[in-house]
Amino acid sequence: MTYSKILLATAIAATIGSVQAVELKNESDKVGYALGVDMGSTVKEIGGDKINLEAVISGLKDAAEGKELAMKREDMDKTMQTFAEARMKEMQAQLEKEIAANAEAGKKFLDENGKKDGVKTTDTGLQYKVEKEGKGAKPTKSDSVTVNYEGRLLDGTVFDSSYERKEPVTFNVSDVIPGWVEGLQLMNEGSKYTLYIPSNLAYGETGAPPSIPPNATLTFDVELLKVNGDTARAEAKAADAQAAAKPTEAKPADAKEAKK
């Protein structure tokens, strides 16, 4: 967040916030109020509780009325730079604390979840449970797939769902997070799995703001509706042909006939 943005947001939002029962009579009033709401949200984000709003209003009036300023420009620049740097350090500390807490919660969940009946863990740490096993082709990284899915945080919060949108999603297998790439290739067309994805196979320490926090372990219900691609279907067809070509064992009746 830049120095100029912090200064402008604080000044405008503080001024608008100081007006009691604003009457929006004309377009100028409405524009001013809309700008104040927008800037006020930014002030809240940067830590408005640490800013003296009366001093902000005084500075805004002095500048607008052409009065002599109480601070030199270089002192103001230095003050705002110091404030911005301190705020950034505070935000970084909060982020690191959240990252550590989510990592611990994810590890605890996966340790306990991996012991449950039906839950399997791969070498990468991905966990999955087969809810329904399909009989169609398995996708490869070069295929695209059509799926229905629901994604949840550990507290049960649904952050994304094709079921809610009532429309399946089609995408390339290689274009999604590593946990999905691996999980999809375990599934046959028509399968439904629950995937338990550790953060390093999901969105990592960055997360996917605002829906997914940093270092979040995620749970997905995934229904593989269709494999779209020649690779998987060719492999499935070849496997069927190979199975059909294998000689079958002679049945007892056939063995008796052979002795005659």
Q: Choosing from 83, 128, 193, 220, which is the catalytic residue?
A: 220
83 classed as catalytic: no
Give one word for 157, left, alpha or beta, with left for phi > 0 and alpha for psi -120 to 50.
Answer: beta
Q: Which amino acid is at 140?
A: T
128 classed as catalytic: no
Q: Choosing from 109, 159, 171, 221, which is the catalytic residue?
A: 159
Give the closest residue to 84 by CA, choosing from 14, 9, 13, 15: 9
12 classed as catalytic: no
Give the Cα separation of 4 and 81 in Å (integer): 10
159 classed as catalytic: yes
Q: Which stretches does DSSP call E strand in 79-165?
A: 119-121, 127-132, 144-152, 158-161
Q: Choosing from 83, 128, 193, 203, which is the catalytic residue?
A: 203
Q: Choosing from 3, 33, 62, 160, which is the catalytic residue?
A: 160
Cα-only R_g, the chain: 30
Give the Cα separation of 77 and 102 in Å (integer): 37
Q: Choosing from 128, 149, 193, 196, which is the catalytic residue?
A: 149
Q: Are 2 and 87 in contact (CB under 8 A)?
A: no
Q: Choosing from 16, 51, 57, 177, which is the catalytic residue?
A: 177
Give the Cα separation of 63 and 41 in Å (integer): 23
Beta bridge partners, 128, equal: 120, 195
- List residues with catalytic annotation: 149, 159-160, 177, 203, 220
